[in-house]
Amino acid sequence: NKFDTFPIARRIEASVQDGDEIVKLEEYADRILQFKKRKMHLINISQDVEFLEDTFMHKGVDAPGAVCKTDFGIAWVNELGAYLYDGKSVKNLLEKQGRQVINDWPSFAGGKPMIGYIPKKRQLIVTMSAGSGSVGDIYLFDMVTQSWVYGNTKVADSAKQTNFTTDWNGDLIYSEATGNIKVWNDTPGATTSTFVFKTKDIDFGDPS
């Protein structure tokens, strides 16, 4: 009938007195991902003695809601990018074949973004901001096709939101300041607004 005890021999210190703070811990396979404000430590726990395997600068997070676990690995976002650790390496999901796929990411993700995972469709959803002046725009990343899509006001504007989580049925859920539980629904609806379709420059073999 004792409380849980944590002996000093089982303590892991990746970095101390570095002026940073731990925001979130996640585990994947035999690694612990320690997220701080400005960096992420990758800790190897596959052996009897744990050790710091790598440190990824500028890949920290502002809040726990900026990290989520998927069946592909651990995904997280900050104002500099969207990342996935797949057990082998850290990939920047905003880069594809050596080019940046989203140019306005810093302005989109500059207000404490959140990320969630939709297991039924293997998609990541990133909200623009979950603060008091939140904006309901989102980016949706399909992990199968490796493609992004933008959504305008797909969650409520100017409403605080909780972090995303998954319910017993595998649906992505969250709550707003009203206390109502929302289930993410991507069923298309009718709209009267205009849209812009952009392609690369197409010259049909005649640049002039």
Mean pLDDT of 170-195: 81
Q: Over the stretch 27-75, which tens digit does the pLDDT of each residue have? A: 998 999 999 999 999 999 888 888 889 999 999 999 999 999 999 899 9
Q: Over the stretch 149-171, which tens digit does the pLDDT of each residue have? A: 988 878 877 777 888 999 988 89
Contact 124, 82 (CB under 8 A): yes
Give residue 133's pLDDT band: very low, low, confident or very high (50, 70, 90). Answer: low
Contact 35, 25 (CB under 8 A): yes
Q: How far apart are CA 142 and CA 144, in angstroms?
A: 6
Q: How many C-beta atoms lie closer than 10 Å to residue 182's C-beta? A: 16
The residues, ordered by sequence, that sit 6+ positions from 161 with a Cβ below 8 Å of its Cβ are: 114, 127, 130, 134, 155, 174, 175, 176, 177
pLDDT score at 25: 94
- Per-residue pLDDT at 115 exceeds 60: yes
Average pLDDT of the chain? 87
The residues, ordered by sequence, that sit 6+ positions from 83 with a Cβ below 8 Å of its Cβ are: 59, 75, 76, 77, 90, 91, 92, 93
Q: How many C-beta atoms lie closer than 10 Å to residue 65's C-beta? A: 24
Give phi and psi for 82, each to the nearest 5: -120, 130
The residues, ordered by sequence, that sit 6+ positions from 82 with a Cβ below 8 Å of its Cβ are: 75, 76, 92, 93, 94, 105, 115, 124, 126, 139, 141
Nearest to 135 by CA among 171, 109, 104: 109
Mean pLDDT of 173-197: 80
Q: How far apart are CA 26 and CA 43, in angstroms?
A: 10
Give the gyration radius of the chain's Cα atoms.
20
